[in-house]
Amino acid sequence: MTHTPLPVIRLNPKAQARAIRHGFPWVFADELVTDRRTRALTPGTLAVLEDTERAPLGVVTINPNSKIIVRILDRDPGAVVDTDWLTAKLRHALALRERLYPAPFYRLIHAEADGLPGVIIDRFGDLAVIQPNAAWAEVLIEPLADALVAVTGVTTVVKNGTSRVRGLEGLPDETLVLRGDVTGPVAVPMNGATYMADVLGGQKTGLFYDQRPNHAFAAGLAGGARVLDMFAHVGGFGLAALAGGASHALAVDSSAPALDLATQGAEAMGAGARFATRQGDAFTVLEALGTEGAQFDLVVCDPPAFAPGKKALDAGLRAYERVARLAAPLVSPGGYLVLCSCSHAAELAAFRTACTRGIGRGGRAAQLIHTGFAGADHPQHPQLAETGYLKALFFRMMD
């Protein structure tokens, strides 16, 4: 790449330059001087950001089409964002994951918290999936793939461009194999279980690594248990429970392909005879199980984000309460109920209140024994509450 002088963009008087100096990674559209020259910049352009006194704040990327118009890349205004720069970021991230996990299955890059704003990279052994959810990463996808191969030694790289966030950045919906070849689902060992990840057609990158510590905690409760895994996707909690000694697990999801992958995972770990699936709308199935008088020793509900933003918060909290109300009666006396939320807009206290209200409306009493969050390969950016999105509440039924 040639290193030409970068354009200069400037904060307006309303902006809080102090917040940026203290580590806040974004500038919103109403905080930037957006004159004709700035608006003409191509999304993903690198620039130098200055405060109102023309003091440089660092190298940034700009997308005039996004509400988050500027993302901070480097506090050094002289930084050169190229393959070497990307390589350094990836090496720093890899050092943490290699300390955390003995096998190369983890989230390698968690966006702003790993210094690559808008970028997600999940690793599945010698295959990695990149989600370039910001325009700058779309522009630099090839150097990013080169750096990823050089740092990790992966032989296959997939670009997954199906995230909802890409629409907010004005980016197309597409999935491509950038390096190597994908011949089918990838087997992923985690917590003693085997998961099958569809890295081309599955949800997100094909697997959710964020629940790893919560899968493990649930597995510790699962010895000899009858387990219900609602919103199971590829069998996250259910397969972990089987690895933990559950007598039987029933996985429920609306996606037949996801349940097929869950079944393949159960068979791959030698637990096919203890595993069953039921396809359908989760609320409908929960109501049907209640009517059937079904009972389980461990019930886990890990729904999609019911409150993806503040506008959906009230409706989302009502949905979480409804899940708890329908699930609580299915738990045997002294059994366990796990309720999860990946909605960053639903803060922990509000989510916990909705869940406890739902349990009460379901006619049950419970004690909260554990609160779980995302694994350490999903580090939080200290100034972005959005990065602390995942909550998992573990209840033990008192009756």
Work out how many domains the chain is built from and give that number.
3
Residues 215 and 200: their CA atoms lie apart, in Å, by 24
CATH number of the domain that residue 267 is part of: 3.40.50.150
Read off φ and ψ for residue 197, nearest 5 degrees: -105, 125
Q: Look up 355 and say whether it is catalytic.
A: no
Predicted confidence at residue 320, as pLDDT, reads: 97
Residue 376, both tokens: 């350490």
Q: Tens digit of pLDDT for each residue in 302-340? A: 999 998 888 999 999 999 999 999 999 999 999 999 999
Residues of the chain falling short of pLDDT 50: 1
pTM to 2 decimal places: 0.94
- Same domain, yes or no: 159 and 270: no
What lies within 8 Å, CB to CB, of 24 at 6+ separation is 16, 72, 383
Compute the Cα dihedral for 152, 158, 159, 162 and give only its sign. Answer: negative
For residue 168, what are the domain limits? 83-179
- Same domain, yes or no: 286 and 375: yes
Predicted confidence at residue 27, as pLDDT, reads: 96
Q: Tens digit of pLDDT for each residue in 144-154? A: 999 999 999 99
- Same domain, yes or no: 227 and 355: yes
Q: Which of 262, 166, 249 is nearest to 206 (CA)?
A: 262
- Same domain, yes or no: 259 and 117: no
For tokens 């219900």, name the residue.
Answer: 228
- Same domain, yes or no: 106 and 240: no
Q: Which of 301, 340, 342, 355 is catalytic?
A: 342
- The torsion defined by the Cα of 254, 257, 260 and 266, in degrees rounded to 10, comes to -80
For tokens 């990307």, name the residue.
Answer: 86
Read off φ and ψ for residue 36, nearest 5 degrees: -60, -40
Predicted confidence at residue 3, as pLDDT, reads: 61
CATH number of the domain that residue 124 is part of: 3.30.750.80
Secondary structure percentages of the chain, helix, strand, coil, to 5: 35, 30, 35
Predicted confidence at residue 1, as pLDDT, reads: 46
- Same domain, yes or no: 251 and 281: yes
Q: Which of 144, 29, 163 is nearest to 90 (CA)?
A: 144
What lies within 8 Å, CB to CB, of 159 at 6+ separation is 129, 130, 132, 141, 145, 174, 175, 176, 177, 178
- Same domain, yes or no: 255 and 351: yes
- The SS3 of residue 39 is helix
- Same domain, yes or no: 173 and 212: no
Predicted confidence at residue 254, as pLDDT, reads: 96
Domain membership flag for residue 134 = yes
| Residue ending a domain, choose from 28, 43, 74 | 74
CATH number of the domain that residue 58 is part of: 2.30.130.10
